[in-house]
Chain A
Amino acid sequence: MDLAANLRQIRAEIAAAAAKANRDSSGIRLVAVSKYKPLAAIEEAAASGQLIFGENYVQELTGKAAAVSVPVEWHFIGHLQSNKVRQIAGLVAMIHSVDRLSLAEEIDRQWGKSGGSCPILVQVNVSGEPTKSGATASEATALIREIAKLPNVSVRGLMTMPPFFDDPEGARPYFRELRELAAAIAGEAIPGVTMAELSMGMSGDFRVAIEEGATLVRIGSAIFGERR
């Protein structure tokens, strides 16, 4: 597994997808999804210029963050239990997966202890699949209005996980709907809320997601290989 070559390949594909959509690729950041991957793989990717790593589990993230020897910007991208927020407070640069007010309230409490604030994305279940986390598209605006009242939480955009399709084109309508929802929410001009970030697209469908406006793509297997 040549991580450096994989990263170069993905950066080139991000640039190509951005060019196809007439976008500046500097507005798209790559989140390397490192769940289940050893620290050595993270450090090897970092040596190849990768800066942002996304983790899905609190315990795994805190363990790696304590041991890593290179500067890493950590993003939390998995389902987050409120009772574990304390362990990542102040450590992660962004939480992509806020799907309920009670979780946002706990993030507000824990970040407030250090006098800081936490950039978050609201996870939206665009497809409405019952197995997926996330607020429904119709709930999202009301949820964001409530979160916006919390002083130590800063809403920066939306995240979604579309249903799985063999053909990445299948995911396009869900990415488009997220972008349109973000535009609608931005139009509400809720104080303190920006819709600058759209976290969408993974190894199989990030090119389509970029064409539909993704600013953060979460890529694991195309960098680190399939899980063994």
Chain B
Amino acid sequence: MPESRIILASASPRRAELLESAGIRFQVVPGHIDETPLPAEPPVDHVLRLAAEKAAEVSRREAGDFFIGADTIVLCSGEIMGKPTDAADAARMLRKLSGISHAVITGYAVLAGNGAIRTAAVETRVFFKTLTEREINDYIATGCPMDKAGAYAIQGGAAHMVARIEGSYTNVVGLPLCEVIETLREMGAI
């Protein structure tokens, strides 16, 4: 069988690194969609819909056999945390995460050229240590939080803030690798 042409419909270099680490050959073509939640949309429905829409948007303009879309949110005490709007917002998020646990939910979709799609959402619980104001300010000064859901990256400067996790580590980074690879296998992509 000829090798499938796989396209990652995400601008996240972290997702690309994860897929590369699994030995998958693919191209990156970021999807551009309206990410506004629908009225009363539950968090899991939201990430799954965005994942599917990202994959579908790219499939309409790029030739490929399989398109992977993904969306990650941080859910803390009822608040869905996306990317912070500014440094003050990042500080607010980190103060809220401090000392308690939150959920990181990634929805992913694999869309085949024939229109077949499979979606799944994976949830990981992340336990933060109690952060000092200095730790929060130093981390924000690195600039790292600004393009991350929940204002932190577990694989970057925030690694020392995470006391422990329950569930998939790669899911917190942005792509539940174990599950995504299994779905690609099941769809005959790899």
Contact = CB atoms under 8 A, between A and B. Distances in A.
Interface of A: 4, 8, 11-12, 15, 25-26, 48-49, 51-52, 65-66, 68, 70-74, 90-93, 111, 114-119, 154
Contacts of A26: 42-44, 105, 121, 123
A25 B43 CA distance: 10
- Looking at A11, A52, A71, A91, the one whose CB has the most chain B CB atoms below 10 A away is A71
Main secondary structure of the interface of B (DSSP, over half): mixed
Nearest to A89: B116
A119 to B, nearest CB: 7
Interface in B137-190: 185-189
Contact of A91 (B48, B52, B116): B116
Interface residues of B, number: 33
A153 to B, nearest CB: 10
Interface of B: 1, 38-46, 48-49, 52-53, 55-56, 105, 109, 111-112, 114-119, 121, 123, 185-189
B89 to A, nearest CB: 25
A115 B188 contact: yes
Contacts of A111: 188
Contacts of B118: 73, 93
Given A65-B115, A90-B114, A115-B1, A49 B38 contact: yes
B42 A11 contact: yes
Contacts of B123: 26
Given A49-B45, A93-B118, 6 more contacts: A15-B42, A26-B43, A73-B52, A73-B119, A90-B114, A90-B187
